[in-house]
Amino acid sequence: MGQVNLVLKGLDYVSDGGSFTLTSGVLERDPILMGAGAATANGALVGFVVGSAIEMPRGIRINVVSPGMLEVSEERYGSFFLATKGVLKTCWARLR
């Protein structure tokens, strides 16, 4: 609910035509074992963005991104996502 509350409070502060970009996860569309709770949270956030996008005033936009697992989470959660690389590691390799 933190990101939802951020948008609700931020509506009074964001500029006309501004945007909110929220961060979710891939579990809403690519579930893993023991990930039902996280999949539920991811799906709820996506649902909030889709539903609220048509209600945003003053030309404000709202988006949600799901970047995949962050490199800092690999040690703890990497065994659940064997087919992926950490986002920052992948980006860093491309910059080299």
Are 24 and 57 in the same domain? yes
* Counted domains in the chain: 2
Are 58 and 23 in the same domain? yes
Are 73 and 61 in the same domain? no
Tokens representing 7? 């948008």
Question: What percentage of the chain has pLDDT greater than the value 90?
Answer: 56
Q: Is the pLDDT of residue 71 over 70?
A: yes
Q: What is the mean pLDDT of residues 66-91?
A: 71
Are 50 and 94 in the same domain? no
Are 73 and 57 in the same domain? no
Are 17 and 52 in the same domain? yes
Q: How far apart are the first and last CA of the chain?
A: 38
Query: What are the E-state strand segments in the chain?
Result: 19-23, 61-65
